[in-house]
Chain A
């Protein structure tokens, strides 16, 4: 088996004096899709933010390619794509400008590539419309266009199916599977009934932690 991209050892997180999880250990291997499950408030988003490095209120160990993550911050950030609850889309900018700003610090792309990515998510013809005129689902699609041009091997996606129609959901599922097949790794939290072959599950909000 190849080396895990990301490895969590004995993660523990408390929030508002409530323990969300304790002794949580798992490995994110290349070529896998991992689904974080659990009822509302069980800490799915918190776990994902911890993995992304946005939340510091945890103890335990996180290893990126076998080394402590904080020692390799830049390498980790360069190879990790995080999409949160809030899509990171500026309402005053057009989808094209938004996408350009989101990718500029990582891998600047020609507008042509960005426009192709936007039309790949069904936003053809909306490239130059202010994003505030778009629907919630369309705004999320602007953020999701990043998945079409991303070269990061590790994706951390929080509630990625929110406000997306059935066709879009299917397309995203295919993308996740494709990324895993290409040797990347995906971690998703979702209430949507996602069932891909060989999917790893991390279940929160129960007595024991499933790490199959």
Chain B
């Protein structure tokens, strides 16, 4: 939430604090699987955290609500599943292929949708995502309702056996860190400043000579590729790519995660994903009531802490503003 002007004042201390936080985050990632927490749950959490962060890049920093991010998430999962299972790709190459497919889709979708703003943008992305959903329902390689099942986890670079859940965990953690770093770098670069500028005042950015449309399409492509990275990783973790991943529910879920955690913050989507995934996990026994519980949480969030969990904490910290 820091504006461009506040950064110069005490840059060294800020940098140090940033490094400390990053170090603590990494330590948590390394220690987490040894605390007795279920590794598959942690991996799922990281996949969704990355997905939410990628989504947040559009919503939080460009101010555009995409309601079709499940298309990138799910299509990448299918692409990865297909190349790994049918063509025998290495899991790493498979994930890259999935992210590349999502990125390419993002470029096309972005070019179409970016002409509009607000509700129209959301509707166009939703419509495109629904087209992808029905495409996935009909074509042969996705296996319709069955989905692609039994995707082998295989050997990473032919060396590391990913069937071992601890190896898989660190592989996913590495992907998450890289994805998160890319988003961090994007947001804290001149390009990121331009994005925030577009969010705050688009006509002014145009008058300053920024190629606004191109910047937006680029941001959309990066966001889509990273959402794809998350979906591709999930398909390797769960060894399945199914219609759930491309369904509009998934698009809705990621909006929920981002809003609950705090949009426009770096760490908010991670917290939001944690809350939602944990709820789904621990309330699974009550079946379809999970949706109701999540709905209530969403309403409470919007009514009482509109900035989201992390957003609210940041806003109350004394040294800011």
A and B pair up: no
